[in-house]
Chain A
């Protein structure tokens, strides 16, 4: 028995349990990532797979990285991606913050129902929801004709339009991204707002602050970690988004995800696609590290 107990108590088990997630990350994140990094410095060949190291080609080839900075297409795609992602993040914050705040102020039973409604869209396929938006934004939909009628009613006759061109534009991309990623903003914001002590609001009111000042002085500063967490959860996937810009976006102003996908599948330039992917990751790591630094500092103070 004692031997069995000792066998179970061995430190090895704890190491194994701690180690498993790391093993998972190494196998399914680090190794594939290293393969992508390796491919990014390979040379494109008409073989299968369509790249090679050495032989008549140089062992390490930085052409892909050079083209990112040299070719205006890539710079533009990066800027459009970051811009769209930033706009989507800002709109998610502007819409999500009041929703998250409202969630903390309603009764417990309402709170559960409303939280459920925030999460509910995830039960439907993501693609289906994007297609639904395509239907709504299309020229002949009730949504578009309704908005068109409203527009024509409000503006002078010279500005009247037949329909509102929503599909295949950056507007459509941002709209659908905001819709898709809104829960990722609301949930961390709710988590950080819910922890706040409501007596702090009362203390600020008591000391002469009006409700809006209480929000600016007490609620907002304390919810910054939630804003950053929600912002990253929206910004990072939005910047690399492929499906939404492909389905509703403007082909003339592609986002970077679209560029990577096209390079892999159509141009069959795997080294170029890998270079862009690595560059995108590098750009994304910077805000994440900034956030971690902020978190560590905030926790260090506690």
Chain B
């Protein structure tokens, strides 16, 4: 990767006893980026974050921040601050004292310190609550105190451990945008650990999807969602329906696949690395499938019967049985207002499913 990377993680592994929490992770993050580590519990994302903060030592590998090797630098000397999942506010200190805590180690004058605290209180809109103790404010306010406390020392890198997990849904959406705007204003590089794909997709410029200690794919939210490189990423982000497929050849720059469940061949976006006769997986996102009651034109179409449908308001999820017995999930936007009659299809209707070759995901693994 580029040498000008602000944070460079090189071949980092971490073993606890016989358990390998992080396996050979290499990542680079640019200055001012919001980078998300996304994965389920036990995928190693938190261990990686703790290694960045200095709470854990990598078993092997190196971490460079702004060109400086972080090995042997204790947490209190790292220009890296963390916003803990539980916020870890000091219960015996006021909001103001919590925010000022990190500044007492900085060689700045009392007036500068007070000014910085005021600026931080202002940034997170907590000035009226400065004299309160953490248990006297709401969860959302506590989260903002934790953010202000971590930002007060103007870190080079801010680590956020599940920053929104403890908030309810309404507050979460609001806070998400607030986090992004604060990041923009301060220009601090953010590393966000989350298990919530939506959180990662909306917050992050780039995402590293982790599974069992390994990074499975790194890319922008669009890349991760639209162009997953393996089955794990494809199924972890959003939902997919996947089919076994065999490569039959190439036509007009598209890959020709035989899908046993369809009983026909379909066309898909070409993946240069696959060869004829290779077994691959065809993955389809529900919203990329068009449902219609009329036979669809083109090759990428298959007939089925609506087995189930779930109405969510703005859209509906259909589960359609193919003649082979396979189930396909498809989304349809409820563009027209109306009662049941306005729907694309109903229970037990015979429908045609079709998709654009460009939308079909071909996975080797």
Number of CB contacts from chain A to chain B under 8 A: 61
Q: Is the CB of B82 within 8 A of A301?
A: no
Name A188-222 residues within 8 Å CB distance of B.
Answer: 197, 199-200, 202-210, 217-218, 221-222
Chain A residues lying within 8 Å of B64, measured Cβ to Cβ, are none
In the complex, are the beta carbons of B55 and A202 less than 8 A apart? yes
Contact residues in A for B285 (Cβ distance below 8 Å): none
Whether A203 pairs with B92 at a CB distance below 8 angstroms is no
B53 at the interface (CB under 8 A from A): yes
Contacts of B314 in A (CB 8 A): none
Q: B81 is contacted by which of A197, A207, A209 (Cβ under 8 Å)?
A: A207
Bound Cα distance A263, B187 (Å):
79
**Given A199-B88, A221-B92, residue A206 in contact with residue B53 (CB < 8 A):** yes
Q: Is B68 an interface residue (CB 8 A)?
A: no
CA A202 to CA B75, docked complex, whole Å: 9
Cα A199 to Cα B83 in complex, Å, equals: 11
- On whether the beta carbons of B88 and A202 are closer than 8 Å, the reply is yes
Which single residue of chain B is at the shortest CB-CB distance from A200?
A: B88
Interface centre among A200, A206, A302 (most CB of B within 10 A): A206
Cβ of B76: which chain A residues have Cβ within 8 Å of it?
205-210
> How distant is B296 from chain A, measured CB to nearest CB, in Å?
56
Q: Smallest CB–CB gap between A109 and chain B, Å? A: 16
Nearest CB to that of B88 among chain A residues?
A203
On chain B, which size bracket covers the interface? 20 to 34
List A contacts of B80 (CB < 8 A).
206
Residue in contact with B82 in the complex, picked from A203, A221, A222, A302, CB distance below 8 Å: A203
Taken residue by residue from 235 to 272, chain A's Cβ proximity to chain B (1 for < 8 Å, 0 otherwise) reads as 00000000000000000000000000000000000000
A205 to B90, CA, bound (A): 12
Q: What are the residues of chain B within 8 A of A206 when measuring CB–CB? A: 53-55, 75-76, 80-82, 150
Contact A199 B86 (CB under 8 A): yes
Query: Which residue of A197, A217, A302 contacts B101 across the interface (Cβ within 8 Å)?
Result: A217
Min CB distance B348 to A, Å, is 55
Considering only residues 113-138 of chain A, those with a C-beta below 8 Å from chain B are none
List B36-79 residues whose CB lies under 8 Å from chain A: 53-55, 74-77
Instruction: List A contacts of B101 (CB < 8 A).
Output: 204, 207, 209, 217
| A200 close to B90 (CB less than 8 A) | yes
Distance (Å) between the CB of A193 and the closest chain B CB?
A: 14
- Residues of chain A lying within 8 A (CB to CB) of residue B55: 202, 205-206
A202 contact set on B, CB distance < 8 A:
53, 55, 75, 82, 84, 88
B253 within 8 A of A: no
Q: For the complex, is B343 an interface residue (Cβ under 8 Å from A)? A: no
Nearest chain-B residue to A202 (Cβ)? B55
- In the assembly, what is the distance between CA of A199 and CA of B54, in Å? 14
Asked if A205 and B133 sit within 8 Å, CB to CB, the answer is no
Of B88, B102, B149, B153, the residue contacting A197 (CB under 8 A) is B88
A203: B residues at CB distance < 8 A:
82, 84, 88-90
In angstroms, Cα B53 to Cα A95, docked, is 33
| Known interface pairs A199-B84, A203-B82, A205-B75; A222-B102 also in contact (CB < 8 Å) | no
Judge if B238 is at the interface, Cβ distance under 8 Å: no
> Across the interface, which residues of B come within 8 angstroms of A199, CB to CB?
84, 86, 88
List the A side residues contacting B133 at CB < 8 Å. 301
Which residue of B is nearest A196, CB measured?
Answer: B91
* Bound Cα distance A260, B77 (Å): 60
B293 within 8 A of A: no
Is the C-beta of B105 less than 8 angstroms from some C-beta in chain A? yes
Q: Which residue of A lies closest to B152 (CB)?
A: A207
Give 5 A-B contacts (CB < 8 Å), ordered by A residue.
A200-B88, A204-B101, A206-B53, A206-B80, A207-B149
- What is the interface of chain A, defined by CB distance below 8 A to chain B? 197, 199-200, 202-210, 217-218, 221-222, 301-302
- 6 more contacts with CB within 8 A, not counting A203-B84, A205-B75, A221-B92, are A197-B86, A202-B88, A203-B90, A208-B76, A208-B153, A210-B76
Closest 3 CB pairs of A and B: A207-B102, A203-B88, A208-B105
